[in-house]
């Protein structure tokens, strides 16, 4: 096994162990708490701000929206954590704790694969085809992990994710930016030499 595969394996093992220890309920409802808390806070923070300003006239106008947003977010997240803890306890009582942890480990593996795939997909956008090709050939896990995000995206949207056009545009902008930086650096060096010559 190549060193790159060892790194991939270590990252996946971390996510699997973490998911196994936390369990399915804790991970799913934890994520739901974050997303649900943010969504509900954006939706209902304005009405709650009005209520707070009406009930507490001395409250600074700048603090009222912040308190309303945080109150909704923290409340929703706290409820989701309590629900996850309750469902975990029920799973243990009916002797399904092992299933909760097994599914948690499976979900952890999926999360780890997606994180690695996003990183590799981002690397593939950079104009370094020869390097990425060598890495892909030297690693057994590189190609399968790189394909995870396009595969998941294709399932969720019913469309195949074609990144070739996007990659070409990104690489073009990257080269243009790099060339511009080089030109600016050269211009400053020439200007500096010109100034030093004038001083002499």
What confidence tens digit (pLDDT) does each residue in 63-95 have?
A: 888 899 999 999 999 999 999 999 989 988 888
pLDDT of residue 151: 74
**DSSP string over the chain:** --HHHHHHHHHHHHHHHHHHHHHHHHHHHHHHHHHHHHHHHHHHHHHHHHHHHHH-TTS-TTHHHHHHHHHHHHHHHHHHHHHHHHHHHHHHHTT-HHHHHHHHHHHHHHHHHHHHHHHHHHHHHSS-HHHHHHHHHH-SSHHHHHTHHHHHHHHHHSS----HHHHHHHHHHHHHHHHHHHHHHHHHHHHHHHHHHHH-
Task: Tell me the average pLDDT across 147-170.
Answer: 60
pLDDT of residue 82: 94
Confidence of residue 160 (pLDDT cuts 50, 70, 90): very low
What's the pTM?
A: 0.60
Domain locations in the chain? 3-161, 163-200
Say how far apart CA 120 and CA 137 lie, in whole Å: 14
Mean pLDDT of the chain: 81
């Amino acid at each position: 096994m190549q060193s790159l595969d060892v790194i991939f394996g270590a990252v996946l093992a971390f996510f699997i162990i973490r998911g196994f220890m936390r369990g399915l309920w804790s991970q799913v409802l934890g994520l739901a708490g974050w997303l649900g808390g943010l969504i509900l806070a954006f939706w209902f923070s304005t009405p709650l701000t009005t209520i707070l300003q009406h009930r507490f006239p001395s409250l600074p106008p700048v603090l009222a929206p912040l308190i309303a947003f945080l109150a909704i977010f923290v409340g929703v997240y706290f409820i989701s954590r309590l629900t996850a803890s309750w469902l975990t306890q029920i799973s243990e009582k009916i002797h399904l704790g092992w299933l909760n942890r097994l599914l948690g480990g499976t979900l952890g593996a999926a999360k780890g694969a997606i994180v690695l795939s996003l990183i590799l997909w981002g690397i593939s956008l950079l104009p370094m085809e020869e390097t990425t090709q060598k890495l892909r050939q030297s690693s057994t896990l590189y190609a399968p992990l790189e394909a995870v995000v396009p595969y998941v995206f294709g399932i969720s949207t019913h469309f195949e994710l074609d990144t070739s056009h996007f990659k070409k545009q990104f690489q073009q902008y990257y080269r243009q930016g790099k060339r511009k930086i080089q030109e600016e650096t050269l211009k400053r060096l020439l200007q500096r030499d010109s100034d030093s010559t004038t001083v002499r």
